[in-house]
Amino acid sequence: MNPPTYDVVIPTVGRTSLTTLLDALALVLPARIRVIVVDDRRGSLATPVVDVRRWPKLAIDLVRGRAAGPAAARNAGWQRSQTEWVVFLDDDVAPSVGWTTRLEDDLRRGSAHTGAVQGRIDVPLPPARRPTDWERNVAGLVGARWATADMAIRRSALEAVGGFDERFPRAYREDADLGLRLVHAGYAHEWGRRVILHPVPDAPWWVSVTKQAGNADDAMMRRLHGSDWRERVGAPRGCRPRHVAITGLGVGSVVAAAVGFAPGAIGLGAAWGIGTAELAWARIGPGPRTCGEVAAMIATSVALPPAATFHWLRGLWRARTARSGAAVHRPAAVLFDRDGTLVRDVPYNGSPERVEPVAGARRALDRLRAAGIAIGIVTNQSGIGRGRLTPDAVAGIHRRVEELLGPFATLAVCPHAPEDACACRKPAAGLVLQAASVLGVAPSQCAVVGDIGSDVEAARAAGARPILVPTAATRPAEIMAAAEVAPDLEAAVDLLLGADA
């Protein structure tokens, strides 16, 4: 029996633990396996996140992420893959002995309905003392369903549900959201036999306060999946009601003092103190009770309830219009047809003075630029092949387009006439593939926006996402055949960015 095909996807922000992981994978992975490392660091980086020459036995593919969080990074990684399975690993884990053999056995045992096979996570804790609050927090990964520290997902299942939802900007709940959507789509979750080690990473003493930002993601989960989402993913209930109550008591005490109501201020303040002390002890009791740990637990227990409450309210506000369904999945690049889509269609136009943008074009393009998404033009210009336009005239039109609509990262032109039977003229895939290559992204990470069926067909042929923006020239059959249709460019950008995001 042939071994299952899979790629390994590792999103990273450049932690030193990535090198340790790649060292371990170099010892256990077969040469046929590709390791896709998604560099999700912020800023324009001149040096790669790792020097691939250190691991000559690993087939490492470095992919540049958009620094938009782990959901977006994982999307960029799995879209680069063409294998049956995609194995997601965090950049701070280490495979145990026999991990590869057990992984391939786990994948073989999966049925046609298996969408995900999860590895078992082992968090080593200190043997000679009780764990700290942070160590207990990390140990919560043990037995956590859908944790992507080691998760193999069938690529067709990812395609079916749209991948990870990029409305989840942190490494928190984006995996549970994907799990619920996979189950809803009819895919099964299975536990594998392989084991991944997840050491407790270093963290500042106030880490528990910063982690409260995840409450915003809990609000989004409730909006998208209903109030029982925790039970369905096996997540603990959490302490938010306690945090909200303690915060309310503290705020009430301050307000009472401000209006001069001393008895109320004293009573509410005492209740706040009792609630805060109980919270602190609940965190101190199971721990090592060292001076440093006790001091950190007292200080963070004061800040933790208001932080949790603030992020929960922020998440409720952000999620108020969020819609459930397919994941919001932003492309890395958007390629536009020119005539009829960005500018009014003037047949064989060689005069820059006649270039007229369609309504809303500049606003739509600027929204994509602001989101960090590359934009380009893919245009058939058969007038060149027919002798009715010169290449210089077309270049002059493009200079005028950029004057009116702003810069484009690539301008791909097919100069051939239809009878030339070239590989670049839409509806062939050539222009889309050319533009994607120039931008350094996979065609599957691109969207193509156009006004006629040949634009849609070119996108499909290249493996990109097509969006049709019909005009008077669009035939009804082309509209019926398009999977996604937008009434105008701004509505098309809503689809691409996610109107709720």
Task: Enumerate the active-site residues.
Answer: 337, 339
Half-sphere exposure for 51 (CA within 13 Å, toward CB): 2
Structure tokens at 75: 């999307």
DSSP 436-464: HHHHT--GGGEEEEESSHHHHHHHHHHTP
- DSSP assignment, residue 358? P
- Catalogue the long-range contacts made by 45-54 (C-beta closer than 8 Å, 24 or more residues apart): 49/12, 49/14, 49/18, 50/18, 50/19, 50/22, 54/19, 54/22
Query: What does the DSSP 8-state code read for residue 336?
Result: E
Question: In the structure, how many helices (H) and strands (E) does the chain have?
Answer: 19, 13
**Helix, strand, coil in percent for the chain, rounding step 5:** 45, 15, 40
Closest to 215 in 3D by CA, of 191, 235, 238, 183: 238
Pairing of strands 188-197, 114-122: parallel
Give the C-alpha separation, 323 to 340, whole Å. 31
Which residues does residue 249 pair with via DSSP β-bridges, in sequence order? none
Contact between residue 246 and residue 272 where contact means Cβ atoms under 8 Å apart: yes
Question: In whole angstroms, how far apart are CA 4 and each of 61, 62, 211?
Answer: 20, 23, 37
- Contact between 492 and 486 (Cβ < 8 Å): yes
Cα–Cα distance list, 122 to 91, 95, 140 (Å) = 15, 10, 10
